[in-house]
């Protein structure tokens, strides 16, 4: 089964076509009073990051880091599989601004799964990717 990437939302426009300005918190927002914010994973939005592919039973190491402006707390979350983080088996971790987390996964559930930030505004802003576990 193959899943197509999410459709780009109308808010997403070619780079350079959106006028940006800093709000009071120093966050870059679209002008014209919108709450436009670009939230990315490795610079890509809305599941357009190239598919991250692994095999069932692989030892996968995830390097997570936050870089950016303003409110930069994130909660990366994996659908379908769990990670081992600080001795805890979980499917979500918390990242503070400029923090790095290294965590390990041995995927046991094949398929195409979402990997996204669980902060609602960040999901809305495009902080969504996919990964694939092959049998
Ligand atoms: Cu986030």
Write out pLDDT tens, residues 17-39: 666 777 677 766 665 545 556 78
Phi, psi for 75 (deg, rounded to 5) = -130, 75
Ligand 1 geometric centre to CA of 127 (Å): 7
Ligand 1 geometric centre to CA of 4 (Å): 23
Task: Write down the domain spans for the chain.
Answer: 37-134
pTM of the model: 0.74
Distance from C-alpha of 63 to C-alpha of 100, rounded to nearest angstrom: 7
Q: Is the pLDDT score of 118 beyond 90?
A: yes
Ligand 1 geometric centre to CA of 124 (Å): 10
- Mean pLDDT score, 35-55: 88
Cβ proximity of 72 and 27 under 8 Å: no
Domain 37-134 superfamily per CATH? Cupredoxins -  blue copper proteins (2.60.40.420)
Ligand 1 geometric centre to CA of 2 (Å): 26
- Mean pLDDT score, 62-67: 94
Ligand 1 geometric centre to CA of 96 (Å): 10
């Amino acid at each position: 089964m193959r899943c197509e990437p999410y459709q780009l939302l109308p808010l997403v426009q070619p780079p350079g076509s959106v006028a940006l300005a800093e709000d009071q918190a120093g966050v870059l927002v679209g002008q014209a009073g919108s709450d436009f914010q670009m939230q990315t994973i490795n610079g890509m939005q809305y599941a357009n990051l190239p598919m991250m592919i692994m095999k069932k039973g692989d030892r996968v190491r995830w390097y997570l880091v936050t870089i950016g402006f303003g409110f930069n707390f994130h909660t990366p979350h994996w659908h379908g599989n769990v990670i081992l983080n600080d001795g805890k088996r979980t499917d979500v971790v918390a990242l503070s601004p400029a923090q790095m987390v290294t965590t390990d996964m041995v995927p046991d559930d094949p398929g195409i799964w979402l990997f996204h930030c669980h902060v609602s505004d960040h999901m809305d802003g495009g902080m969504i990717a996919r990964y694939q576990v092959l049998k």
